[in-house]
Every structure is written in structure tokens, then in C-alpha cells.
Structure 1
Amino acid sequence: MTEHERPPAPAGVTAPVVEMTGITIAFPGVKALDDVSFRMFPGEVHSLMGENGAGKSTLIKALTGVYPIDSGSILLDGRRVSFRGTAQAQDAGISTVYQEVNLLPNLSVAENILLGREPRRWGSIDRGAMRARSREVLASIGLDIDPDSMLGTHSLAVQQLVSIARAVHVDARVLILDEPTSSLDADEVAELFRIIRSLKETGIAILFVSHFLDQVYEIADRLTVLRNGRLVGEHLTHDLLRIDLVQQMIGKEIATLDDLQQRVQDADAGVDEADVLLRAEGVGRKGVVGPVDITIHEGEVVGFAGLLGSGRTEVARLLGGIDRADSGVIALSGRVSRLRSPRQALSQRIAFASEDRRAEGIIDELTVRDNIVLALQADRGWFRPIPRKRRDELARSYIEALHIRPANPDAVVRNLSGGNQQKVLLGRWLAVAPRLLILDEPTRGIDVGAKAEIQKLVISLAENGMSVVYISAELEEVLRLSHRVVVMRDREKVAELENDGIGLDGLLSLIADGAGSDESRSAPAGATPIEGSAQ
């Protein structure tokens, strides 16, 4: 982006407090940032926007000294800087408040605010001065709490405000707020925004990172959009329509649809409305995702669409028993089912493949064979080991069916490509013969060939009667594979659409604005009552 394409500086401001130019950072096998430029002005709230993998976290870590940069420059107040850690960045006036509060709950509020900078008298900590100074800092952000109270006795919202108070106390010129509202209710968000606005008036530059579009448009003055490690654009918030922001975040490129979508539409014609496999009514988890109603038929692919943080994964985890719902009811084939753990879900033949295949999926030090039979063995119980001959048969069959390469059941999974690791994970869940397969970002980070194979597999599974929940940040992929699309936004379901020619632009509009027709919000026709549910 050239200089004349950037929006102007705020009135009365001559130069940015932070200016990053041509930032490039590469890790083995991936370029995380590619010639990215970014700037922040004093007295502004700036939002850094982008989907998972866009480079937001990497850019923040480059600014705060966590990652060294391969090329480019960082200017702070016009002076070139190169931090060798967060402590140096903080000493220079750049403070970060993380999504997870990183203070000490077993210490007092005052001790947390002044940790490492305690006032001393005659070689000992001056408790009176600590209390007085903490009260001043708390008062500066309008927070009225006892400095001597234990931090852990306060709500998460108050703890985050104490984190901000600590950042303000170090004379921050730049304050980075990383997903600060992810666990806050509406009143707590309003209080946080009040404090952000008061800090902004003092001239602090605030970087607000959030996936909630409503909040971004309420609080941010300026936006910078990243996609796939590259700069897409910098905009004044009031100049950029929400739908245009979403298009920039996910890309406007629409892949050519092959015969997969026609196969989906042909299969959709054969879906029997009476064949309801799963029906969720008012299912939610407080502070995580609002109550949703979802119906899934046998042999149906239901796509979940929405931006990162919209609640799509959170709903899937409730349906898969990974997280426990605290409201609503889930029924399988018309009977209420308590899904309180992944094991209970598996006993009902519901399999969940996480988006984080490394942390929650494959066991990378085990072989392909061991990874494939893992879930089936867990379902049988460890005191009933699967015979070696059966394990070999399972491994060979899924290696062949999924085209896993190398075709060696004794290969260690960590040595496989990302696409083949994903196929091994799919083989594991297919081995338990699920009725419902929940796939969260199954094609992320894999090559085009492996992606196409997995997409074709999903359609084949549905054609053979398996139900699939399919989540992907690539909306054209969701449209290509799904019979129906559930649209999530800001942790709520905003629409549910039959995929009978949904346009990408219409889907983008729903994601950006949450505006759906009454028909799109209603329950599917033919849904049957749940036995044992309250009517």
C-alpha cells in the first residue's frame, strides 16, 4: 500500500507514535508476515483485523519484542527501535493486556499494579505509599476498589481493568488490548469502553484486537486489515462498510465450483425431513455462546459460517460433547441425550475433529496405525485391546481409502505433511463409524490436492447416510459442500439458510450485519418433537 492510499492522520497530529514498515517474518515452511506496514496515532483506538493465520499475533509480537523481524523497521516516536523482549518494550512505553489475565490472583490489587516497581523506604516496601499510589492509578481509570483486596476475589472483568491500570502506571504510550472482551458481559464491556475512551483522551494509542464487529465499529477510529500475512488495507472505521471489511478479511476470490455443488444439490433433494438425527433446542454456554436451535438430518452436511470468534466452533464443541452446555437440550433420533463429555458423545457415535489437529488431534510421536485406532480403542476400553490383525486391517483400509502418503502404517505421524496428518485424523474418526462427524476447519493449512480429496470424501460420506457438520473460514468451501448453512455472528445464530443457490455476497452480508429474513431464522420444516423435552 502506498502512502497516498492511506487515510489521513487525526486532526492536529503530525506523526504516528508507532510506525512499522516492510515487516517480514518467516518461520520454517511459512512466511508469517510479508512486507507489512502498520502505524498507530496518539489518541486513537486502532483495530487490527484478520482471520486466523492472517498475521495479527505475529505483528503484535514483532512490535513487543517477542519475535525478531527478518526485514523492515519499527519506529517509536520517530526513533528506530529493536526490542529484545516484552520488558524492553514495556520500558519504552508499549504495554500489553492479554485475553487471559496474566496477573497474580493470590496478591492484592496494589501488589499487582506495582509488581516489580514497589515504592521502598529504608530498604523495605512502603505499604502505605503502595496503597496511595494504587488508589491514584485506579482513580485515573475510574475504578473504585480496595487496593488491599485480593485480586482473585474480583470478577474477571475487574481483573482485566487492574491489568490496564498496571499498564497505565508504567506510563504507556501504546496500550495493546488482546481480545479484552471475550469473557465479559454487556455491562462489563460498556465499563471497559468507558475506560478506553478516557485513556484515549490522554493521548494513549490503543490497539484493540477483537473478533466482534459490533464492538470494533463502536470503539475503533481506524482499522488495519491483514490476510495471509499481507497488508490488505488501512481505513478510517466510519469509511469502511462492514461487508467490505468482511470481504477484505476473508478475500473476494471465489473459487470455481466443480461438480461437488451439483452433487450436494442432488443429494439434498433426497433428504427426508422426518429423518432427524440431531436436534438442539436452546443449547448454549453462558459467557461462551448464546442459546441456539439446530436440526441435522441423516445424510446431511450442515455448514457453519461466520468469522473467527463468531461462535461457530463453540457450538460445534457443545454438539460434540467437548464442552458442556448449561442450557437447552440435545436429542438424537428424537430422544434426549446428555452429552457431558467426548466419551459420552462417542458412545452416541458423534465424532469431533478439532481445528487444532496438533494440540487436540493427532499424537505426533505415534504411528499412523496407532493414531487411526486410538478412538476405537478408547471406546472399547483399554482392558479390551484391539487385536493386532484387526489394527493392521483398519490402518491399511483407511490408508488406502484416504490416500494417506506414505502408505506405511508404521510411519511416525509427525513426519507426515499437514494434509496427510489431517487424513490420519479423519481415519481415526471414521473407524468408529460415526452417525455425526463434526469437522472444524478440516482443510486449514493443507495443499490444494489434499483439500479437494477431503471435500470429495465429505460428500461421499453424506451420500452414504452420514451426517456432517462442516466448519470453514473459506465461505466458498462451506457453500460448495453444505445442504444447509447456519450463520453465526458475535456468539449468536443469526440465520439458517437452505443452500439452494446462496450467493457469496448474501452470505457475507449476513455475517457482516446479521440481517436475515424471517424464513432464514425459522426452524426447518418437518422437525419432530423431542421425547422428554419440556414443551
Structure 2
Amino acid sequence: MTGINKSFSGNQVLKNAEIDIAEGEIHALMGENGAGKSTLMKILTGVYTRDSGEVLVNGTPVNYTHPKQAEEAGIVFIYQELNSVPDLTVRENLFLGKEIHGKFGILDKAAMDKKARQVLDRLGVSIPVDRTMSELSVGQQQMIEIAKALLVDAKVIIMDEPTAAMTLEETRVLFRVLRELKEKGVSTIYISHRMEEIFEICDRVTVLRDGQFIGTKKVSETDMDSLIKMMIGREIGERYPARHSKIGDTMLEVKDFTKKGVFQNVSFSVRAGEVLGVSGLIGAGRTEIMQSIFGYLPRDGGTLLIRGKEVSVHSPEQAISYGIGFITEDRKTEGLMLEKSIRENVSLTNLGRISDHSVIDKKKDMELARKAVQELTIRCSGPEESCDSLSGGNQQKVIFSKWIFTEPKILILDEPTRGVDVGAKKEIYNIINTLAEKGVAVIMVSSELSEILGMSDRVMVIHEGHMAGILNNRPETAAAGEKMASQENIMTLATGGKLK
């Protein structure tokens, strides 16, 4: 792809962008949110029409006008935002538009099940094909999307943040599959903000910044600092900012939380000014435990104490009244009203603050939105900009702002930097540290072990609905013989092992 230009409503998002992919290579495409990565790939696969430029496939000019044309040519795009139909089964999603028919045009379920099982086994996924997609975790749904690409015998697979919701073990399985595909001559365009993955799996990397081509390098001939500088045009310093918050008294205590078949007898506490990291494999029950604390998921047993006093929380409304905030894992469907403005989203959890006698004060409403844009450096045209036009990092800042202004005492973060670029991650980490320094008790669920280790004071590990252990991540406070947080210790507990 050379000289690719693309504008939307007079806003030029690609300016002479380019990329070249060799046969059988894993090629990273990197850049901040809004750099034009997804737009470039959507032009390649026929979702968007380029304004100018040239696309060659095997030396032949092409101009796909529909994703189906690209797929027929062996180019498949696995989107970051999952492209599945939630009410259909795994089988129906895998073969949607590619159904296998037997005699008289009747669907041959046996043939589809056999083929589905082969590709799912290859991915190490043991999901029944008659399960409904909505019953699966985000990580499991991502594996189904990858299975779709393998079913069509793709020559080029584009993966946009494929491991954002995966555990370390699921990521290892994916990398094994990518290496197998590479040996068979299949090329992968790998879009990710996770630097460690780029250096582990990719051959070359192309960087875009503000829609422009910055350069292509062999991964073996560059380093993390150089890539970051290419991406954001400056040095970023330490990935995880130093933490200075003072740990105070116990703010939240969970005792024997149980939801039959999901989690059992979970007990832990988090203190004012503390960041409690929560780790575990996908499906371990981390999110469900947090949803239960927030009153969204009913539990079968257990008690909740705030500042030592037992409270009844059976709805998000009650949770908010006790000073609990919850930034959900899926910002697109649970965290934001995408089609609404920044102002409307920030106001949603702060109606009492901007209202007089249940009537919204428009001046207060706008002042709050402007404060959010300014204090969290949300890059936008103004508070009235629609959230669906913002980059992932800026969408996440909108979600943070709507909860920060409720002045929470306890803030639950479920995958707070999922799909966010390295620059925006650093800004979010600074926000988390600022909240902790103000005495907010923070619970942070994350599948990124480096993030857990870089940001947490203690780490709670969940295994199959049980609390496997709590590890200290502050060496200066460690007692003699206390188990310390490390990648090895976390993974040992997360997979059901015991620490020596």
C-alpha cells in the first residue's frame, strides 16, 4: 500500500500512508489511538474507499469495494470490537455466510461441527459449538473470531488487538498458531499496543503517527524506546509512574462472597490509598466478583463492609450511594453511550451534581464537561463531540471522568487500559495514582501481568472462582516469609498451583 490518503468530512486521517507485507511474515502495525492503523486496514479490506494511492496484492493493483471481495482474495480482518452475533451459537457464528449444506439444501451440522472442532482444537479451545456467543467471555469470543479466519484458509490475517482480553496462556496458544501459519506462508498484520508481544512474535514493524508513515524497521534491529519515540514523537520515560500514596485504613471488606457455579467464599479487603491488583485466567470469575460488589450480579451469600460497617448493596444505584464506582471491561457496550456526546456521558453519573430540583442546569452541565476535557486532557473538538468519534484512549478518559466526578471512595477498574495506546496508558496510570494519593481505594482487574506488577500494592489471584492467594508487591513492607508478587508466582496461583 503506497501513497494512501483518506479524509472524513474534511478531516484528513491518512496522509500518504504506506505499508508492505512479505509472504509468511508477522508484521506489526503500531501507532497511538487515532494514528490511522484501523483506517488503513479498512481501506485494504474494502470497508472504506481510499481517496488516492495504490494497493498491490501479489504485484497486481486491486481496489476492493467490499470486505467479501478481500476475503475471497484471502485477506481477513479480525476486528478489535468483536464482530459476532451474540444470540447465535458458536457454530452459527463460525459458518455465517459459509454454511455447509447437504442434500436438498439442508444444513449439514455434522460436517460443520467436525470442521469447527478441528480448528478450535488447533487453537486449544474447548468450547461446545452449540453454546450461545453471549454466554462466552470476551477472551473466548476473540478466539472464535480467530477461528473464523482459519476456516477460510486466509493468506493474510489482520489482527487488531487480538490479545487485549486474553490471558497469558491464551496468548501463548495464539502465538503458537501464528508461527504455524507463518511456516505455511500465511502473513499476519498484527496491531497491538503491547510492546512485549511485538518483540516476541513479530518480524518487522511499521509505525504510523497522525495518519502519516513514520518508518518500517526489523524488530531485531530496534528497541522499545525507539518505537515509542516513533509513535508519539517524544520520549515517554518510565512506563509505570512511581507511586507515592500512603496506605490508610481498610475501606472495603468482602467476606465469603459466593455465587453458585461462578465464585465461592471469596474474602479480601482493600485500604484507602491502595491499588489492589486482581489477576487470574479468563473465566476465573474476576469480573463477576466485581459485578457482585457493585450490585449488578446477585450473589447467593456473603457480606460487604465499608469502613467496618456492613452495608446492603443489591443494585448499582445502591453501590454508587455508598461511594463505589465501576469502570467496566467493555467500554463500547457497558461503559459509554457511544452515539452521545462527551457532555452527556459525563453527566450520566453526576445528575445530582448538575441539577436543581431534578432539573438539569445547562450551565453546570457544560462546566462539568469542560472540566473533564481539560483535567483529563481528552483530545476532542469540544464537549459536544460524539464519543464514537474518539480514539480508544480518549473514550476511556471520558469513562474515568464520569466516575471521578462522583468523588468515589472505592473505584473498581476492570481492564482499564484495554485497547489503549502506550501514551494514553501512561496518562491513565497517572490518573490512578492521583486517585490513590487522594485516599481512594482502587481495585484493578487486569490480564496484563506487567501492568499488575507495575501498578499494584498487593495482588489478589483468582483461580476457578476461588481466591488462590494475595501477594505483596511492596518489598519495603514485606514481612519475613511473606509471598511476594512476581510473574511466576501469579501464574502458579492462577493455574491452580501452590507456592513453595
Q: Normalising by structure 2, what TM-score? A: 0.58
**Which ranges of structure 1 fall in alignment gaps of 5 or more residues?**
1-19, 256-264, 305-313, 406-413, 445-470, 499-517, 526-535
Cα separation, partners in 2 of 1:338 and 1:180, compared to 1, 3 Å: farther
- Please state how far the C-alpha of 1:227 moved relative to its aligned partner: 3.2
Counterpart mapping for 1:159-178 below 5 A = 163-164=145-146, 166-178=148-160
Is residue 2:186 matched to residue 1:204? Answer: yes
Q: Alpha carbons of 1:208 and 1:202: their partners in 2 closer, same or farther (altered >3 Å)? A: same
On the 8 A contact 1:37/1:231 being kept in 2, the answer is: yes
1:252 aligns with 234
Amino acid at match of 1:90: E
Match of 2:318 in 1: 344
Do 1:65 and 1:84's aligned partners in 2 also have CA atoms closer than 8 Å? yes
Tell me the residue number matched to 1:138: 118
User: 2 CA distance for matches of 1:177 and 1:194?
Assistant: 15
- Is residue 22 of structure 1 aligned with residue 22 of structure 2? no
| Counterpart residue number, 1:46 | 27
Question: Residue 37 of structure 2: which of 31, 34, 56 is its match?
Answer: 56
Describe the superposition over 1:247-271 as per-residue Cα deviations: whole angstroms up to 9, x where unpaired. 444442579xxxxxxxxx9xx8xx8
Residues 397 and 42 from structure 1, CA distance in 2 versus in 1: closer, same or farther, beyond 3 angstroms? closer
- Aligned-pair CA distance for 1:520: 5.5
Q: Distance in 2 between matches of 1:519 and 1:331?
A: 24
Moved more, 54-63 or 330-339: 330-339
Q: Which residue of 1 aligns with 2:98?
A: 116
Q: Write out aligned runs for 1:93-132 (5 A).
A: 93-99=74-80, 100=82, 102=84, 106=88, 109=91, 112-113=94-95, 115-116=97-98, 118=100, 124-125=105-106, 127=108, 131=111
| Equivalent residue letter for 2:163 | T
Distance in 1 (CA, whole Å) between partners of 2:332 and 2:58 is 42
Q: Is the 8 A contact 1:48 1:209 kept in 2?
A: yes
| Alpha-carbon shift at residue 428 of structure 1 (Å) | 7.3
Counterparts of 2:30 and 2:324 in 1: how far apart (Å)?
Answer: 34
- 1:478 is aligned to 2:430: yes
**Which of 184, 204, 219 pairs up with 2:201?**
219
Q: Distance in 1 between matches of 2:159 and 2:118?
A: 18
Q: Report the Cα offset of residue 92 of structure 1.
A: 1.6
Correspondence 1:37 to 2:18: yes
Q: Is the CA contact 1:97–1:167 (under 8 Å) kept in the aligned structure 2?
A: yes
Distance in structure 2 (CA, Å) of the matches to 1:218 and 1:235 = 15
Q: Residue 48 of structure 2: SS of its match in structure 1? A: coil
- Once the two structures are superposed, residues 98-126 of structure 1 have per-residue CA deviations (whole angstroms, 9 ceiling, x without a partner) of 453626885674994484363666x6358
Identity of aligned residues (%): 28
Matching of residue 83 in structure 1 with residue 69 in structure 2: no
Aligned residues: 416
Q: Residue in 1 aligned with 2:448?
A: 490
**Structure showing greater Rg:** 1
Q: Structure 1 residues 212, 295: CA separation in 2 closer, same or farther (over 3 Å shift)?
A: farther
State how far apart, in whole Å, the 1-side matches of 2:315 and 2:219 are. 42
Q: In structure 1, how many angstroms separate the alpha carbons of the residues matched to 2:306 and 2:105? A: 65
Contact 1:109 1:147 in 2 (8 A): no
Task: Show CA shifts across 1:51-79 (max 9, x none).
Answer: 32232222221211111112222111111
Residues 1:234 and 2:204 are matched in the alignment: no
Amino acid of the residue matched to residue 22 of structure 2? F
Query: Does residue 192 of the first structure (1) align with residue 174 of the second (2)?
Result: yes
Matched residue of 1:494: which SS?
A: helix
Shift of 1:237: 2.2
Matched residues in 2 for 1:241 and 1:367: separation? Answer: 37
Q: Secondary structure at the match of 1:208?
A: strand
Contact between 2:29 and 2:205, CA under 8 Å: does it hold in 1?
Answer: yes
Greater shift, 70-79 or 45-54, is seen at 45-54
- Seen in structure 2, the aligned counterparts of structure 1 residues 477 and 35 have a Cα distance that, compared at 3 Å, is farther
- Structure 2 unaligned residues grouped into runs of 5+: 238-242, 278-286, 373-380, 458-471, 480-500
Shift of 1:346: 1.9
CA gap of 1:83–1:330, structure 2 versus 1, over 3 A, is farther
SS of equivalent to 1:116: coil
Q: Judging changes above 3 Å, is the alpha-carbon distance between structure 1 residues 364 and 197 closer, same or farther for their aligned structure 2 residues?
A: closer
Note if contact 1:96-1:176 (Cα within 8 Å) is conserved in structure 2.
yes
Residues 401 and 118 of structure 1: CA distance in aligned 2, closer, same or farther (over 3 Å): closer
For residues 96 and 360 of structure 2, the distance between their equivalents in structure 1, rounded to whole angstroms, comes to: 58
Aligned equivalents of 1:169, 1:124: Cα separation in 2 = 21
Give yes or no for contact 2:124–2:173 (8 Å, CA) kept in 1: no
Aligned to 1:260: none
* One-letter amino acid matched to 1:223: V
TM superposition shift of 1:94? 0.7
User: Mean Cα displacement is larger for which, 93-102 or 82-91?
Assistant: 93-102
Aligned partner of 1:447 in structure 2 is none
Q: CA deviation at 1:479?
A: 9.0
Find the aligned partners of 1:366 and 1:51 in 2 and give their Cα distance.
Answer: 22
Alignment partners' CA distance in 2, 1:253 and 1:230: 19
Q: Does 1:150 align with 2:109?
A: no
Write the distance in 1 (CA, Å) between the matches of 2:205 and 2:408: 43
Are 1:101 and 1:160, in contact at CA under 8 Å, matched by a contact in 2?
no
105 and 519 in structure 1: CA distance in 2 versus 1, 3 angstrom threshold = closer
**Aligned equivalents of 2:128 and 2:334: distance in 1?**
39
- Equivalent residue runs for 1:238-317 within 5 Å: 238-252=220-234, 274=248, 296-297=272-273
Answer yes or no: is the 8 Å Cα contact 1:43–1:202 preserved in 2. yes
Per-residue deviation, residues 316-362 of structure 1 (Å, max 9, x unmatched)? x9899498799x99975465778776423421234568997998467
- Check conservation: 2:25, 2:203, Cα contact below 8 A: yes
Please state how far the C-alpha of 1:195 moved relative to its aligned partner.
2.4
The secondary structure found in structure 2 opposite 1:495 is helix
